[in-house]
Structure 1
């Protein structure tokens, strides 16, 4: 009997040690995923509650990146822990594999909710999923992605009113009544309902995917007067001609016309207004977690699917570009065992989210994923010298078969044109980059076009990426970066997580 008691005591101590390190099944996970929120142009400024309740209570990752700067491919990367070349979602269209039949057949069964479900978690999703979700040709609202117990998925792209939800496979139509229909608030309210009615003593995994701060930037009525005099920041690359850059950037006219500037200032202001409701959502969720006595047992992640620009290199508004304003995202995390007020500099990617969730859920390995758990980074006792120094950013351009009739033909395959005929994307806006953060801060990008165009930036001396150094740097450095890019473009699983040796880094 004494031996059995000692064994039981040992197992209890082992369990306590496991949970204390944040790697024990039973911890809850909440992911708050916003849409198009930048980290470079003040995107977190309106988020006072979020910065206090998550950032100050935990960790802010100073170098968090999306591996592709567009909604559907990025969200697919978050769900699968895979680079776009492995999950095969190229853009926001069905033909680009966004929520397509192929995605549903091949990738959804490998997505994070499936693993969480197998690990005994209750799963809950509310808000935007993938841009083409609910399309009638691929199952419509009846299709509920595998792994989700409670499903409130937005049909199509971000909206605030007049949308349809798939509620566990049934269509639920919404109008324009603020109290009933404003989507950010509805997501907050349904998350509270779930937290209050869920199965007790069973861990949960929640994703709350708000429409903010994506267009059409419809603010809640109570915030319509907020930031009324705010304008987009005028520093760095704002209203600067993108000389020595890819043709798509060069075609933007500098200086911008007043109509473009007025348009982007209005977008900037309204984006911040929509984010105030997200800030309220964060507060509401955290208060509810506290009321149901789960706050201290819950990891809370706050991030965006990609960044955004408003006037940089004279591009009025959008994402899709390789520059810091489009690939950097906010990432704030709090949870059990995470010391408050940490600021971590190591580069973390959105493909790291799924492996981190699996790590929390008790999985020892995530062989099929390209990312890696970043829990060791928030543990001061862990060795950080084996963390990555470089990573891949990749994007497949979209365009029309013919030039927009409202715009002059500026290149092969214009896509969407904004005020004063500035085109933001094209078929050959297709690129892959090595981004490295070590002793020196570098980016090397190759375009898939007739010119095999190359852009290189030293972000230590040129943080706004004004000067393309492709023709000025040591050719041996270009060769090294090209070789690393080739490896990353074809990597899978552990090959993508390989840590570079010191002598192989791109420091020079």
Structure 2
């Protein structure tokens, strides 16, 4: 249930927990001594769209990144939805503080992000002010149109970006426009117009120019891949012919009587539906081959110019994707791990090779990470914390034990071409707490979910009905604290269990 408790009572609870030592979890291992990052290192951020963990095994260059660098195994999205996630990535703020709650107006989308000051609050202007040359390539925010002039005579480029090569509807990978530094350029249907490849080429060119200049740079390449309609590059279209979607225990779940009402209405998948899921998974694997090649090309370009010694490469996704789990066909927006837990992998100077971080990280942490690497102090409104200590081999004290997930189900919108956000059978509005060993969800209609992830990692058995009342009230209070936290106040709330 999404309830409204008195903040004073919750603060008292947090104070008592801190005094009793319950806010701090003993370290799983001794914290190694951290090394120092290079002064003003370069940063390359590859942000994919709807990329789930089950695709990584089919991406050899990303697997190589895991061997060479650091993998966050519990990286949780504050909302498994494109625009809300990206608003959080840019600002370091939870959705309840960005004001971007959906993909489209009146509660979300590009216009809401801009109107609420998201562009000025983004990390980009602060990096630019610190002397970085900044570039954004690919996808920006849902609802952005590359021909938008904002009252000017040429297409608009948001503040903080020196180079801007951004599309609006690049999902089909062909027949799209790019706003290229204020100039509208159309790309058609030739094989060389495949959007992921165009972004890769432009990214390599930016690295080459920036490396020659000696100026530190930040580049974000935000692919539309592997978002639907799942169009792979021609050279990959016939690969993986016999591949099927993974069949975890949650696939086409046999008994969902314990699930919330929005999910209980889903019938078991039939043979033709499972066949379509297998086909979709094959195309998603085919689609990420071009992304994987791009990662390899970027690493090669950095190494050839000696820039790899001073460059952090971050690979991740805006949200996950379910494909057959819990009887759900392709989609996201749930609080299940398929949707909220995403890959984040980092290589760079001082990053320990082959190491995994099990502590909970969130997309709120990306903006302060980029800012700390650039020597910029994150603003007080930042809800997340920098991941730099992890990148340099340390385990910061007092790290969060609870990740917040919040989702608002939007009303039907003509701007949503697939009607997925508000379709019947999609999740209703909810807030959730995810820790390493449990998931607790409260829905706006009063229903709850609780999964013991230590015993039930696939989230099959909702045991919320059997929770002791004291435990349930404790979790509900913590959830209230997280959904109302701002800035540094989010740190103690996230440490409470």
Displacement of 1:497 after TM fit? 1.9
Gaps of 5+ in 1: 1-18, 403-412, 418-422
Q: How does 1:202-281 map to 2 (within 5 A)?
A: 202-240=215-253, 241-254=255-268, 256-281=269-294
Any idea what SS the aligned residue of 2:117 has?
helix
Asked whether 1:384 is paired with 2:380, we answer no
Q: Which of the pair has the greater relative contact order for Cα pairs under 8 Å at 6+ separation?
A: 2
For the pair 1:195 / 2:207, whether they are aligned, the reply is yes
The two structures, once aligned, show a CA RMSD in angstroms of: 2.2
Q: 1:375: how far off?
A: 1.4
Aligned to 2:442: 446
Match of 1:49 in 2: 61
Task: Name the residue aligned to 1:28.
Answer: 42
The reply to whether residue 369 of structure 1 matches residue 368 of structure 2 is no
Q: After superposition, what is the alpha-carbon deviation per residue over 1:322-341, rounded to whole angstroms, capped at 9, x for unaligned?
A: 10000010010011111211
Instruction: Map 1:69-218 onto structure 2 (within 5 A).
Output: 69-100=80-111, 103-104=114-115, 106-134=117-145, 139=150, 142-156=155-169, 158-179=171-192, 181-198=193-210, 200-218=213-231
CA pair 305-479 structure 1, distance change in 2 beyond 3 A: same
Pick one of 72, 78, 89 that aligns with 1:67: 78
Q: CA deviation at 1:194?
A: 1.2
Aligned to 1:11: none
Q: In structure 2, do the counterparts of structure 1 residues 136 and 224 end up closer, same or farther at CA, with 3 Å as the change threshold?
A: closer
Paired residues of 1:20 and 1:336 also in contact (CA < 8 A): no
Residues in 1 aligned to 2:369 and 2:224: alpha-carbon distance in whole angstroms: 24
Query: Which segment drifts farther, 301-310 or 194-203?
Result: 194-203
Deviation at 1:474, TM superposition (A): 1.4
User: How many Å separate the matches in 2 of 1:118 and 1:478?
Assistant: 47
User: Is this contact kept in 2: 1:393–1:435, CA < 8 A?
Assistant: yes
CA contact (8 A) 1:69 1:307 kept: yes
| Distance change (3 Å), C-alpha of 1:374 and 1:136 | same
User: Does structure 2 conserve the Cα–Cα contact (< 8 Å) formed by 1:85 and 1:490?
Assistant: yes
Equivalents in 1 of 2:358, 2:35: separation in Å?
A: 24
SS in 2 for 1:153: strand
Q: Please state how far the C-alpha of 1:414 moved relative to its aligned partner.
A: 8.5
Change (3 A) 1:296 1:424: farther
Further displaced range: 465-474 or 270-279: 465-474
Q: Deviations over 1:118-150 (max 9, x none)?
A: 111000111011121117778398221210100
2: distance between equivalents of 1:150 and 1:295? Answer: 21
Task: Determine the C-alpha separation between the residues in 2 that align with 1:101 and 1:389.
Answer: 31
Q: For the residues of structure 2 that align with 1:102 and 1:38, how far apart are their CA atoms? A: 25
Alignment of 1:287-436 (within 5 A): 287-380=300-393, 382-400=394-412, 423-425=424-426, 429-436=428-435
Are 1:264 and 1:311, in contact at CA under 8 Å, matched by a contact in 2? yes
- Matched residues, number: 456
The structural deviation recorded for 1:399 is 4.0
Q: CA deviation at 1:69?
A: 0.5
Partner of 2:8: none
TM-score of the aligned structures, taking structure 2 as reference length: 0.87
TM-score under structure 1 length normalisation: 0.86
1:12 corresponds in structure 2 to none
Q: Distance in 2 between matches of 1:300 and 1:388?
A: 24
- Judge conservation of contact 1:82–1:351 (CA < 8 Å) in 2: yes
- For 2:21, the equivalent position in structure 1 comes to none
Q: 1:178 to 1:136 in 2, by over 3 A?
A: closer
Looking at structure 2, the residues matched to 89 and 387 of structure 1 have their Cα atoms a distance apart, in angstroms, of 26
**CA–CA separation in structure 2 for the residues paired with 1:416 and 1:496:** 29
Task: Find the residue that maps to 1:308 and give its secondary structure.
Answer: coil
Cα distance, 1:104 vs. partner? 4.6
**Unmatched tracts of structure 2, length 5 or more:** 1-33
Runs of 4+ in 1 over 4 A off after TM superposition: 135-138, 413-417
8 Å CA contact retained: 2:146, 2:178: no
- In structure 2, the CA distance between the partners of 1:425 and 1:286, relative to structure 1 (3 Å rule), is same
Matched-pair contact (CA < 8 Å) for 1:394–1:431: yes
How far is 1:55 from its partner?
Answer: 1.5
